[in-house]
Amino acid sequence: MKKLLTLLLAAGFAINLTSCGDDDDPINVKTQEELQQEAIDAVATAVGTQLTTDAAAIGVAAGTNFDWTLTEGATQPVRATTEVEVVANIDVNKTWTADNVYILKGRITVLDGVTLSIEPGTRIEGDATLLGVNAAVLMIARGGKLMAEGTAANPIIMTSTADDGTLNASTGKGKWGGLVVLGKAPISAKTGAEAQIEGVPASDANGLYGGSTAADDSGIIRYVSIRYGGAVIDAAAGDEINGLTMGGVGSGTTIEHVEVYANSDDGIEFFGGTVDVNYATVTQVGDDGIDIDQSYAGTVSNFMVTVDGDSDEGLEVDGREGDLDDTFTLMNGTIVAEGGASITCDFKSKAKGSITNLNANGGTIKLSASFDAETLTHEEDAAKNVVDGELTFSTVNATFEVYTKSFDE
């Protein structure tokens, strides 16, 4: 873990400043480490003039529009008895119905130009026996559409074949992959206008995302519960699947009333794109609750994140990687903790956007600061964007702390 406002560096060299007097004795001798700490302190002071803790932040009202979810104790649809194995990519329009359980036998992709429709109350299960690159995933390729329209009374369930009713947040993580949606909206990746989504091998061209169509439409995801995902694809590389991954998803897509529970990696992750998400709940995942990357330019509103001892950040937010420079909006969110876990949110790497009415219950919002190694000049990062007014926090119940990894990065 990064230690806030403290540098864990080897002792630096001393800089000697001499007086102009006759004795020429050295004065104001400071080590490089002391000068570095002064640079951080100056940034922290500047940030402090912009940000304050506001205990009046209410976030999203507890239980509001979440009473349909597993984590709020809603009655769940009875599992159908007929199982249908899905063994190949979907290359013609199809409808999955509630009288079947659909078993994903690998990474199943809805191809370009094809629509998969899913009826309310339908259950989809990823085969828990498939591991690594063969893990079960439902992926919507660029140009494909998912029309997953559940209801509060009959949500669509995406889970694992291991989900027999006995799994929980401690025992159920990583039992299949998750839901991946890819679109043609702009992204800001190191590779340019398009990139390969994490967790999908480069040999699968269906894993490409990004483009120039901001209003791209990947369908509708409404009243969908995604459970026990996050299968490890490559342990050495730390490559796992998020509960809901969105790469370059456009604003023509509708995503609302989504639950991610007990995923081993992030709950919801955005890689660029412009899609809005409304009423999302992420509970007890193994990494970050909501993760934002590559200049995501949409709005996440009315969200609730619950962290526990396995979780990392409630929110992890990065900005651009490439030239595209856009801003996100987070509004009306609540972050709570279970089992004595701490609440932290990490804003770093050029993050730009606005956060309004966030109740982090007094947790810590970390702001990354970057400096030139020689001149100690404050360079662009989340902390500088706060000072410059390009990353704003309004009505936020949290404390703010500035950190830096080192002065060499």
Q: Sort 1 into a burial class: Cβ within 10 Å, 0-12 / 13-18 / 19+.
A: exposed
Per-residue HEC secondary structure of 263-320 comes to CCCCCEEEECCCCCEEEEEEECCCCCCEEEECCCCCEEEEEEEEECCCCCCCEEECCC
β 344-347/353-368 pair status: parallel
Residues 296, 73: Cα–Cα separation, whole Å: 32
Residues 64, 85: Cα–Cα separation, whole Å: 36
Q: Please give the pLDDT value at position 28.
A: 65
Residues facing 180 on adjacent strands: 139, 245
Q: Which residues contact 30 (CB under 8 A, 6 or more apart)?
A: 14, 15, 38
Q: Which residues contact 258 (CB under 8 A, 6 or more apart)?
A: 221, 224, 225, 226, 244, 268, 277, 279, 280, 281
Q: Please give the pLDDT value at position 76.
A: 85
Residue 6 CA to its chain's centroid (Å): 27
Between the CA of residue 111 and those of 145, 181, 215, 251, what are the distances in Å?
8, 11, 19, 20
Say what the pTM is.
0.92
* 88, two tokens: 């190949």
Q: Please give the pLDDT value at position 29.
A: 77
Q: What are phi and psi of 210, to 5 degrees?
A: 105, 160
Between the CA of residue 197 and those of 187, 189, 194, 268, 293, what are the distances in Å?
12, 11, 9, 14, 12
Residues 130, 134: Cα–Cα separation, whole Å: 6
Q: Please give the pLDDT value at position 240.
A: 84
Between the CA of residue 388 and those of 48, 348, 368, 391, what are the distances in Å?
13, 15, 14, 8
β 145-149/219-227 pair status: parallel
Q: Please give the pLDDT value at position 10.
A: 27
Written as tens digits, the pLDDT of the chain (409 aa) is: 333 333 322 222 222 222 334 455 556 678 888 888 999 999 999 999 999 999 999 999 866 789 999 999 898 889 999 999 999 999 999 999 999 999 999 999 999 999 999 999 999 999 999 999 999 999 999 999 999 999 999 999 999 999 999 999 999 999 999 999 999 999 999 999 999 999 899 999 999 999 999 999 999 999 999 999 999 887 766 778 999 999 999 999 999 999 999 999 999 999 999 999 999 999 999 999 999 999 999 999 999 999 999 999 999 999 999 999 999 999 999 999 999 999 999 999 899 999 999 999 999 999 999 998 888 999 999 999 999 999 999 999 999 999 997 776 5
Q: Please give the pLDDT value at position 4.
A: 35
Q: Please give the pLDDT value at position 63.
A: 65
Domain positions in the chain are 70-342
Q: Please give the pLDDT value at position 61.
A: 80
Q: Please give the pLDDT value at position 7.
A: 32
Contact between residue 209 and residue 229 where contact means Cβ atoms under 8 Å apart: no
Beta strands in 71-160 (DSSP E): 82-86, 94-96, 100-104, 107-110, 115-118, 123-126, 137-140, 145-149, 156-160
Q: Which residues contact 245 (CB under 8 A, 6 or more apart)?
A: 178, 179, 180, 181, 197, 198, 199, 269, 271
Among 142, 93, 55, smallest CA distance to 357 is for 55
Residue owning tokens 């027999």: 164
Contact between residue 382 and residue 358 where contact means Cβ atoms under 8 Å apart: no
Q: Please give the pLDDT value at position 24.
A: 52
Contact between residue 287 and residue 311 where contact means Cβ atoms under 8 Å apart: yes
